[in-house]
Amino acid sequence: MMTSEQGSSMPEPGEIVVCTVREITSHGIYVNLDQYGGMNGFLHVSEISTGWVRNIERVAKPQQRLVLKVIRADRTRKEIDLSLRQVTNEERRAKVIEWKRAERAQAIMNAVRKKVSLGEKQLNECVTKMVGQFGSLYAALEMAAKKGEKAFTGLELPQEFVMAVVETATEKIVPPKYEIGAIVEVSSRAPDGVQQIKKTLLAAASSPGSAEIKITYAGAPRYRIRITADDYKQAEKIMASVLDKIKDGLGKHGAFNFKREISRKYGGAS
């Protein structure tokens, strides 16, 4: 099944691409561009590293995948010149994640294809709508795993297709969760200070939405706050609200300070 994420027939200069090593020579490496139907590309020895490359075979092996940058694309001859040394660590990491997600999404859609009676043209039209709505096929499948059939409201997709996508995505994808934390120190000089602190923390731990808020005792006068949410920005917004609630709840007789802890992501694709 072709997806709507494969783009144009040729890459553009500056584009980061995933390639498979085809042949290694003394003057460079011949590769196939995996995202462009195995189109031929060439990585000259001068674009492998900023320094002198003594032995190209130490850089790559046949069938190894490389993340490269397109530096020239001749549309007439269909010749692609590539660079390894111009790819930053962040670009490489982002491309590897994108590629893994695309492969995983394709595997899921292959499973969906076996569950429905739709033709290839209709399946491709459904995929095009999903990519147009969510930006990528994997993002659409991730949303299906998270929200079920509601994820595709308004897209006018066949019910048979929607049910198969939701069922398969739920089996294969664990939607990501983001957890952030903080340690707070609280005290109160009020006559009923202990009760005030308890009441304040209970109020701060109430969650109006799908996010989970946990406040646990960490040894007087310290408490640990954990916020778990579907979105990192959402988690940060809730943390700010919790801290404000604690500070305001203690009032003028209270003392309050906090220290952030390391955040983490789990689930989803890395």
Rounded Cα gap, residues 253 and 192, in angstroms: 11
pLDDT tens, per residue, the chain with 270 residues: 544 444 458 899 999 999 999 999 989 999 999 989 889 999 999 999 988 888 888 889 999 999 999 999 988 888 899 999 999 999 999 999 999 999 999 999 999 999 999 999 999 999 999 999 999 999 999 999 989 999 999 999 999 999 999 999 999 988 778 899 999 999 999 999 889 999 999 999 986 667 899 999 998 899 999 999 888 898 999 999 999 999 999 988 889 999 998 888 776 654
Name the 3-class secondary structure at 145: helix
Rounded Cα gap, residues 21 and 234, in angstroms: 42
**E strands in 116-243:** 177-188, 212-217, 222-229
Peptide bond into 158 cis (omega under 30): no
Q: What's at 56, amino acid-wise? A: I
pLDDT, position 269: 54
- Considering the domain delimited by 16-86, tell me its CATH architecture: Beta Barrel (2.40)
Name the 3-class secondary structure at 248: helix
pLDDT, position 35: 87
- Considering the domain delimited by 177-260, tell me its CATH architecture: 2-Layer Sandwich (3.30)
pLDDT, position 1: 53
Residue 86 per-residue DSSP state = T
CB neighbour burial string for 99-133, b if at least 16 within 10 angstroms, e if fewer: bebbebbbebbebbeeebebeeeebebbbebbbee
CA 28 distance to own-chain centroid: 33
pLDDT, position 24: 95
Burial tier of 53 (Cβ tally within 10 Å: 0-12, 13-18, 19+): middle
Q: Is the pTM of this model over 0.75?
A: no
pLDDT, position 207: 67
Domain boundaries, the chain: 16-86, 90-172, 177-260
Cβ 102 vs Cβ 2: under 8 Å: no
The closest alpha carbon to 259, from 230, 209, 225, belongs to: 225
**E strands in the chain:** 16-25, 28-33, 39-44, 65-74, 79-83, 177-188, 212-217, 222-229, 254-266
Task: Provide the CATH topology of domain 90-172.
Answer: DNA polymerase; domain 1 (1.10.150)
The closest alpha carbon to 246, from 191, 182, 193, 184, belongs to: 184
